[in-house]
Amino acid sequence: MSQRTQTITARVFRWEPGGEKTGDFQTVHIPSEQPLSVMALLAKIHDQDGTFACRTSTCFKGICGSCMVRVNGQDVMGCTTLIQPGETVVIEPHSQFRVIRDVAVDFAQPVGDR
């Protein structure tokens, strides 16, 4: 008897410098039987598509802030925010910094209040 594999569905923001001005969302399905941090989810998406740009944490404890992204409309730490199997999430660049590519931002260049 086979067990049905659960997936996490992620709608990730894609944008390339010199490309479209506004960017677009790509839907990705990641098989997972256990909760994944947003950072682990982004790393799996990058493993599937090496052109996908994202940052990872250097502390893995929600302290350094290098993995900050926007999930379902909220700016969060990617290393400490968990996504459950079966869940659908929208992942965008952090709202307060200039986008470099896809969900990777330049933390040295804040965009100010929106």
Q: What are phi and psi of 41, to 5 degrees?
A: -65, -45
What's the half-sphere exposure (Cβ side, CA atoms, 13 Å) at 34?
2
DSSP assigned state of 6 = P
pLDDT at 113: 47
Nearest to 5 by CA among 34, 41, 43: 34
Helix, strand, coil share of the chain (percent; to 5) = 10, 40, 50
Ordered per-residue pLDDT tens for the chain, 114 residues = 556 789 999 999 999 988 767 899 999 999 999 999 999 999 999 999 999 999 887 788 888 889 999 999 999 999 999 999 999 999 999 999 999 999 999 999 888 644
Three-class secondary structure of residue 31 per DSSP: strand
pLDDT at 3: 63
Whether the pTM exceeds 0.75: the reply is: yes
User: What CATH number should be reported for the domain whose range is 6-108?
Assistant: 3.10.20.30
Domain parsing of the chain, residue ranges: 6-108
